[in-house]
Amino acid sequence: MPASLTCYHLGFGLADLGTAPPTTALLCGAPERARQIALATDGVFCIKPLSENRGLHSYLATLDKRLPLLVATSGMGAPSLSIVVNELFALGVRRIIRVGTCGSIQDHVKTGSIVISQAALCRQGAADDIAPPEYPATADPFLTVELVTAARRLGLDHHLGLTASVDTFYEGQERCNTSANPHLLRRLQGITEEYRRLNILNYEMEAGTLFKMAGVYGFSAGCVCGVLADRVAGESIVPGRKDMAQKNAIRVALEALRTPVCS
Ligand SMILES: O=P(O)(O)O[C@H]1O[C@H](CO)[C@@H](O)[C@H]1O
Ligand SMILES: O=c1cc[nH]c(=O)[nH]1
């Protein structure tokens, strides 16, 4: 990509990334989480905010003044993530860790803990524009080992397993009591129980498409999410769990980058 070009959606280009452009990105659904990582996390030094175009807050940073890091926002859902990831790849990013939040659908996966996704059941329309539905949505195994090792080292309650990535927070995750739409399509009624029996751990809305893009484009992707909803007990976000869940997901991602065991 020519240095003079600005990515249309991200709102910055290679010329903004200095002489050693980051090849690693942390990608959050929420702009506040990107801001928190870049501006209020031990060991992360923000070189400069890059853009807030369309609410996609991005920062140029380093980890421990050593590893160049892009901290970016994907927005919610796969269509937005696909645009952001496409443009990050064009800028030379080759390793992406999604640092997200999720809802647990298993009794043993408690709120406040974290889930590291080894692969995703990808029920996402955007991903079908990139690869066929049956194309595997898998995380980079080495990066995933780094995330699990980091969680262990930090002594955090964590789970490694399968994630369901879907397009909607309400209908697609079988919410009808807390949704403005109480009518669920027949094919979605009972879907959470079905996924539970398939040993899927959690619901979120981006990992599957990220993993498929990683396979097709040729980059390394991982995903760590803090659990803030207990979908065995109910539909709502559990108050008071969000901060800890997010903080733990951030800690795991940074620790994985800090102390790699696979390379
Ligand atoms: O907290 P983030 O990273 O946005 O992730 C989760 O939260 C959003 C829904 O509330 C979706 O984007 C879902 O994947
Ligand atoms: O239940 C949840 C919580 C966060 N994000 C989701 O997609 N679902």
Radius of gyration of the chain (CA): 18
With a 6 Å cutoff on the Cβ, whether 205 touches ligand 2 is yes
- CA 83 – CA 9 distance, rounded (Å): 8
Instruction: Pick the atom of ligand 2 nearest to 103's CA.
Output: 1
Determine the distance separating the centroid of ligand 2 and the alpha carbon of 236, expressed in angstroms: 9
Annotated catalytic residue within 35, 87, 123, 204: 87
- CA 6 – CA 20 distance, rounded (Å): 17
Query: What CATH code is assigned to 14-258?
Result: 3.40.50.1580
pLDDT in tens, 175-223: 999 999 999 999 999 999 999 999 999 999 999 999 999 999 999 999 9
Determine the distance separating the centroid of ligand 1 and the alpha carbon of 150, expressed in angstroms: 22
Quick check: 22 pLDDT over 80?
Answer: yes
Determine the distance separating the centroid of ligand 1 and the alpha carbon of 77, expressed in angstroms: 7
- CA 203 – CA 66 distance, rounded (Å): 34
229: nearest Cα among 52, 135, 37, 100 = 100
SS3 state at 255: helix
Task: Tell which one of 173, 179, 206, 224 to mutate to probe ligand 2, the residue whose CB is within 8 A of the most ligand atoms.
Answer: 173
167: nearest Cα among 139, 197, 133, 144 = 133
Q: Which residue bears the tokens 């090792």?
A: 149
pLDDT in tens, 86-120: 999 999 999 999 999 999 999 999 999 999 999 99
pLDDT confidence of residue 2: 79
pLDDT confidence of residue 227: 97
Residue nearest to atom 4 of ligand 1 (CA): 29
Quick check: 4 pLDDT over 90?
Answer: no
Task: Tell which one of 82, 206, 236 to mutate to probe ligand 1, the residue whose CB is within 8 A of the most ligand atoms.
Answer: 206
Quick check: 1 pLDDT over 90?
Answer: no
pLDDT confidence of residue 240: 86
Annotated catalytic residue within 158, 175, 241, 251: 175
DSSP 96-128: EEEEEEEEE-STTS-TTSEEEEEEEEEE-HHHH
Indicate which ligand has the atom closest to the C-alpha of 235: 2
* Catalytic residue list contains 159: no
Query: Do the beta carbons of residue 118 and residue 138 sit within 8 Å?
Result: yes
pLDDT confidence of residue 241: 84
Determine the distance separating the centroid of ligand 1 and the alpha carbon of 206, expressed in angstroms: 8
pTM value surpassing 0.90: yes
Quick check: 263 pLDDT over 80?
Answer: no
* Catalytic residue list contains 175: yes
Q: What is the domain partition of the chain in residue ranges? A: 14-258
Instruction: Pick the atom of ligand 2 nearest to 169's CA.
Output: 7
Mean pLDDT of all residues in 63-68 = 97
Q: Give the lowest-confidence range in 11-25, 61-75, 124-138, 239-253.
A: 239-253
Determine the distance separating the centroid of ligand 2 and the alpha carbon of 77, expressed in angstroms: 11
Q: Give the lowest-confidence range in 1-15, 22-36, 111-125.
A: 1-15
- CA 211 – CA 118 distance, rounded (Å): 10
The count of C-alpha atoms lying within 13 angstroms of the C-alpha of 136, restricted to the half-sphere facing its C-beta, is 7
* Catalytic residue list contains 87: yes
CB count, 10 Å around CB of 188? 18
Q: Which residues have any ligand 1 atom within 6 Å of their CB?
A: 28-30, 76, 100-101, 169, 204-206
What sign for the dihedral angle of Cα 66, 68, 72, 78?
Answer: negative
pLDDT confidence of residue 238: 84
Determine the distance separating the centroid of ligand 1 and the alpha carbon of 177, expressed in angstroms: 19
pLDDT confidence of residue 80: 98
Residue nearest to atom 5 of ligand 2 (CA): 102
Helix (H) or strand (E) holding 165: strand 158-166
Mean pLDDT of all residues in 166-174 = 98
